[in-house]
Amino acid sequence: MTYNFEFDEIEKKVTEDIGYYEAIDEHSQAYNRSNDERLKLEKEIKVIENTALREVLRKIGGEKARVIFNKIYVKEYTAKENESKTMNNEMVDTLLTMIYGGYITEDYYLYISKFYEGSTSESDYQFINAVLQGTERAYDHKLNNVKSVIRKFRVEDFKNNSILNYDILNYLLDNKEEHFLTSFIETARKNPEFIVSYFQMSEKVNDQFFTRVFEGWNSCVNIIKGQEKAENSDVLLRLFFRESPISIKLNDEEIKHLEGKYEFLHSSIKFYKLAKLKKFINKYNLCFETLVKPSKESQDLYEYCLTNKGFVISKKNLGVILGDSLTKKPMTAIFKLSNDKLKKYLLNNQKTIATWFETSCNEESKETLVYMIKEAVGDDEWLTQYLSQQLYDFDDVSDLDTRAVGLILAADKLAVAWHSVLGAYQVLGTLDDTLNEYLTRHATILSKERCVGDENLVTLMHKQLFTGEKQPMLEFVKLLRSFDMTFTLVEFGEMDDERIAEVIRQKKVSADSEIFKHLNVNCSVQVADDYLILHYDALMDDETIEWKEYMRNSMGVRILNSKLALEQKKRFLNECLFITKESQDAWELAKLVCFYYNQCGVDGANKDLVVIALTIYQGGDSWEQKITLINKCNATWEYNTELENKLIDGLGGEYHKLTYARGWASFDINEHNFTLLDYLKRKGHYISKVEKKDGQFYVTFKHS
């Protein structure tokens, strides 16, 4: 227990023998003794209160009783004007005698009232006595003569809780006893359970009371929410919304509490005056925390709150407003709202709303998505993610800006079609990484249609798309199929051999001597040869090509092994081809030369080429090819000994002896040898005689 003492009092007790702490202890002990005496007296008073009046009087004695009665008489029952204010002794003696004898007790007043018309009834007396003693009785305690009862009280008595009574209240309201009513209402405010009880009484209540209670009852919301019984709190809150004046003062905490009561209002909407309720909401800018689906009766309140921003923008409230659309297409649903004020309110808070969207929100419309991009309802990363989960693919983006197109491409939501790609390219003005990645990703589908559109646009895209190595080779091949345009020398200048080879394979390049020259100088021989094969006739007709500068054995091998027509190969043999003897593929080319001259004939042939081919082509099955070719040459060309000897020398072996005029030689008997020997003999070659001996042709020369 804590005690408060004046320091001066403590200091007065301090001596050489008593210190400060001892002085404090003395004071504390004195206080405890005084407190014990007070408790003892209070206990004695209680005993007296519960003791019969006659017993009390006997204990205090007649003299003290006379003094007490005299004081009561003077104070409570004023004497008549011409009489003394003191009680005479005879009256006191008579009163004491009747009390001692038990004729007058505490109940005497009740008893006597039954015999005097207009006097206080037993019920009324009990109530009066309770009020005067500060004892509370039931609020519905029945009073017979309210007017008479009220006259027994002072204004101060109406400030006691014991005054609270239905009959008292109704009388004060009906008779406009303002001097009492004001105090009564103040007392009722301190006892909210009385207000609730009066509202719930079975008899008709006077609504004036509730109006008066809430009029000027500032901070009443805190009292209401502090009620222990939820039922009492609900009743008071309903009355508050219906009866409180708009001018009532509320603090922020109270307003916050009311903003959580929309469902409460909705559930008892018929109880309120809607016009007044709207004014109240508007006055305090109430933003209800939790909306509920409106009923027929609460629809008006619901619409008012939506129109006047009377609700907190939350995911739960949006669920009420938008319904199932919140989980599928929230922004689209907002755009379709017929309430323009509500729509504007939500759109102004779209950045907050957007953060609540789930992955299931995938049915937004194009217009909505475009709006979200333009208004930047989230950062670009969030927008890209949200776009990527949509079912809608943008078919036409030509009316959007570069940022929007970039986000759509990053989200992979551009329709996979060349007209969509061209639209995006036109907006971007270049083939940036995002668009190129999109094309690479969808190369398989895009390769199934032709890229058609504005010719200039297609040309520009073609140049940027295939210049360099923007896509992996597989996707390059697929995308190339969609274009009918031919490549230029400039485009080839920045491409590798593999891509150029694919362009040639897909026949996406025209005949051009400059391209031919470029390929032969800068690319692999295979690429250059493929290009020659592709445009063989045109290049062969091009007089600007100096074939000797570009001819090589490998080119000859590729041309002669290609699927070119026999006449095309013959032209190549006759007009362009020569063999470089030192090259490792000289033998293979010589073999092909011999073979194709046998196939197409040697008219117009390059005789030197034939001789060289015969010389190089040795071994294997070469003999029959070569002798057949020599016989064809002999049958076609005019005889010339020098040339003949070169041809024969190419056969090698014993045939070499046919090139000089002495000695002899033997050859197998067969058609090829017969034709050759017969031809040489007829032309006067060095042969003197041809005989058949031992299964062979035996040849004797002129100078043998």
Reported as a single tens digit per residue, the pLDDT across 405-452 is 999 999 999 999 999 999 999 999 999 999 999 999 999 999 999 999
pLDDT for 68 beyond 60: yes
* Residue 619: partners with Cβ closer than 8 Å, 6 or more residues away: none
pLDDT for 189 beyond 80: yes
Q: Quick one: angle between helices 53-60 and 62-76, nearest 10?
A: 120
Distance CA 34, CA 18 (A): 22
Reported as a single tens digit per residue, the pLDDT across 635-683 is 999 999 999 999 999 998 888 888 887 888 899 999 999 999 999 999 9
Return the ∠ at Cα 439 (arms to 437 and 442), rounded to 5°: 105
Contacts 24+ apart (CB under 8 A), 106-110: 106/52, 106/53
Q: What is the pLDDT of residue 85?
A: 55
Q: What is the pLDDT of residue 443?
A: 96
Indicate the range of 114-118, 289-293, 672-676 predicted with least confidence: 114-118
Nearest to 594 by CA among 566, 613, 575, 609: 613
Q: What is the pLDDT of residue 539?
A: 96
Identify the residue with better confidence: 491 or 96: 491
Identify the residue with better confidence: 112 or 377: 377
* Residue 592: partners with Cβ closer than 8 Å, 6 or more residues away: 556, 557, 560, 561
Give the pLDDT mean for 343-362: 90
Report the DSSP beta bridge partners of residue 394: 414
pLDDT for 544 beyond 50: yes
Reported as a single tens digit per residue, the pLDDT across 123-163 is 898 999 999 989 999 999 999 999 999 999 999 999 999 99
- The encoded tokens of residue 55 equal 């017993």
Q: Which span out of 2-6, 354-358, 470-474 was modeled with the highest average pLDDT?
A: 470-474
Query: Could you identify the residue written with the tokens 């979200």?
Result: 372
Identify the residue with better confidence: 98 or 616: 616
113: confidence class by pLDDT, cuts 50, 70, 90? low
Task: Provide the percentage of residues in the chain whose pLDDT is more than 90.
Answer: 70
Indicate the range of 456-465, 680-689, 695-704 predicted with least confidence: 695-704
- The encoded tokens of residue 437 equal 């990645």
Reported as a single tens digit per residue, the pLDDT across 331-340 is 999 999 999 9
Strands 696-701 and 687-693: antiparallel
pLDDT for 114 beyond 50: no
SS3 363: coil
80: confidence class by pLDDT, cuts 50, 70, 90? very low
Write down the mean pLDDT value for the chain: 88
Per 3-state DSSP, the chain is made up of helix, strand and coil in percentages (nearest 5) of 60, 5, 35
Distance CA 568, CA 653 (A): 34
Round the CA-based radius of gyration of the chain to a whole number and report it. Answer: 62
36: confidence class by pLDDT, cuts 50, 70, 90? confident
- The encoded tokens of residue 538 equal 């045109």
DSSP states along 460-510: HHHHHHHSSS-S-HHHHHHHHTT--PPBPHHHHTT--HHHHHHHHHTT-B-
Indicate the range of 46-50, 354-358, 388-392, 529-533 predicted with least confidence: 46-50
Identify the residue with better confidence: 55 or 561: 561
Contact by Cβ (8 Å): 573, 547: no
Q: What is the pLDDT of residue 602?
A: 94
Query: Is the overall model pTM greater than 0.75, yes or no?
Result: no
pLDDT for 608 beyond 60: yes
Identify the residue with better confidence: 635 or 11: 635
Q: What is the pLDDT of residue 5?
A: 59
- Give 679's Cβ-side CA count (13 Å radius): 24
Q: What is the pLDDT of residue 6?
A: 65
Q: What is the pLDDT of residue 303?
A: 95
Q: What is the pLDDT of residue 44?
A: 75
Q: What is the pLDDT of residue 107?
A: 56
Q: What is the pLDDT of residue 654?
A: 86
pLDDT for 24 beyond 50: yes
33: confidence class by pLDDT, cuts 50, 70, 90? confident
Q: Which span out of 59-68, 485-494, 590-599 was modeled with the highest average pLDDT?
A: 590-599
Q: What is the pLDDT of residue 588?
A: 95
Identify the residue with better confidence: 326 or 204: 326
Q: What is the pLDDT of residue 77?
A: 46
Give the phi and the psi of residue 216 in degrees, each rounded to 5: 80, 10
Q: What is the pLDDT of residue 51?
A: 72
